[in-house]
Amino acid sequence: MKYKSQKVAYMFFALSMVLLLLQIVYGFIMAFAHAGYDGLHEIIAFNTATATHKNLLVVWLLSGFMGAAYYIIPEEAQRELVSVKLVLIQFWSLAIVGVVAVAGFHVGWWEGRKFLEIPRALDYLVVVNVLLFLGIILVTLFKGKEKTTTAMVLAMGLFFAALLYLPGMIWFDNQSMDSFFRWWVVHLWVEGVWELVMGGILAFLLIKLTGVDRELIEKWLYVIVGLTFLSGILGTGHHYYSIGAPKYWLMIGGIFSALEPLAFLGMALFAFAMYRKGEKNHPNKTALYWTLGTAIMSFAGAGLLGIAHTIPQVNMWTHGTLVTAMHGHLAFWGAYAMIVFSIISYSLPLMTGRKLYDTPGAHYAFWLSNIGMIGMTTAFAAAGVAQVYLERKVGLDFMVSQNALHAHFWVLIGAATLFTIGIIYYVVNFFKHGMPTDEALIDNK
């Protein structure tokens, strides 16, 4: 850690850990409901659980990105954050809005639109919160000594992510129009600007962990940014199949979605090329595991499992089934959860001064969570294919076909247990580091 204000990242990371654990609880509630044991139905109905599960995911990832930005931007810009007091206000308002939103879901205070359930009043608070966050980051960056490509890509990703929150707030009387713009938030985040955030964090970590020249790493960062925009923007079209949007989206969505794995493949090749070129003597091997793991798992989950059902001829059958859950889980885990884990694994020992990175717990966390998640993805895949066959080929009713899938959900619960043990190891390791301290400051020279 080079600047005192970088310590604020810790709070955001800690919030991420807590919300992640909560998200997993809701995951289990749904898995048991799918397996036939929906005992909590009266208190937490399935639709409440699914909304909570997804919104918690988004909030803990955003909290992780914010923590990453508060850690990375001072180091790249070579100055302290402009105001730690404002960061504290931003942190607590984020946490409170998040908790209120999630609590609201349980008493029916929501908009009912998939992924964007947060009620409109809280939307405005989110906007204010994010504007404050961006203000702190951008002012720090522009007052700083350096404006590196890494910092600019990261800031640009966060800026556009904020901007793309707005289309979800426009009121439409037409369901198709509403869906059309809803995907601008959801899709253009995960397959557009969040990839920039991921690319920026990845570049920062590779510079630090491999020791390869910044110039070289940043040059390739441009390629990734280019590929992301080329494929991701029009690739949104794969969400426009069968929602009432014009037919030509089948064509545009199909073609540009087919290119989307390229951005992730680019990132994976990039990470491994830099690792092989590097000196391999950085002591924090755990952070390196997570970083290279991100590169592989994002390509597998977001890239390959994505293209597995974005082709219109396939999507015609799989649209809105558990096949989507298969892709969604490994994509979010591989691309975004793992990049947050990477930056935490890298920065936490530097903020706290405790070098806990080669402990057995850190290794268990990495392997168990990844193996567990691959198992979960496989269970979803089997359940999804069976669902498509029973429901859409054979023509069984939705609930009848769901009843036939119970076995797959026991496999899911088993794999999820493994995953959860891994996550618990990670969280325990996280809190074992203790609080960040100024004693961990190293000489800026």
Summarize as ranges the residues that interact with other proteins (CB under 8 A).
216, 219, 222-223, 226-227, 230, 246-248, 251-252, 254-256, 258-259, 262
Task: Tell me the closest approach of the beta carbon of residue 256 to other proteins, in angstroms.
Answer: 7
* 191 torsion bin: left (phi>0), alpha (psi -120 to 50), beta (else): alpha
**90 or 231, CB closer to other proteins?**
231
Angle at the Cα of 183 from the Cα atoms of 181 and 186, rounded to 5 degrees: 130
Task: Tell me the closest approach of the beta carbon of residue 351 to other proteins, in angstroms.
Answer: 36
Q: Are 419 and 373 in contact (CB under 8 A)?
A: yes
**299 or 333, CB closer to other proteins?**
299
Task: Tell me the closest approach of the beta carbon of residue 75 to other proteins, in angstroms.
Answer: 27
Tokens representing residue 50 in the block: 């699914």
Task: Tell me the closest approach of the beta carbon of residue 237 to other proteins, in angstroms.
Answer: 11
**222 or 272, CB closer to other proteins?**
222
Task: Tell me the closest approach of the beta carbon of residue 248 to other proteins, in angstroms.
Answer: 5
**95 or 152, CB closer to other proteins?**
152
Residues 6+ apart with CB under 8 A from 243: 176, 179, 180
Q: Per residue in 141-175, is it b (16+ CB within 10 Å) or e — as a string?
A: beebeeebbbbbbbbebbbbbbebbeebeeeeeee
User: Residue 13 and residue 348: Cα distance in Å, rounded?
Assistant: 9
410 burial via Cβ count (<10 Å: 0-12, 13-18, 19+): middle
**192 or 254, CB closer to other proteins?**
254
**DSSP track, 88-127:** HHHHHHHHHHHHHHHHHHTTT-S---TT--S-HHHHHHHH
Task: Tell me the closest approach of the beta carbon of residue 223 to other proteins, in angstroms.
Answer: 6
**68 or 227, CB closer to other proteins?**
227
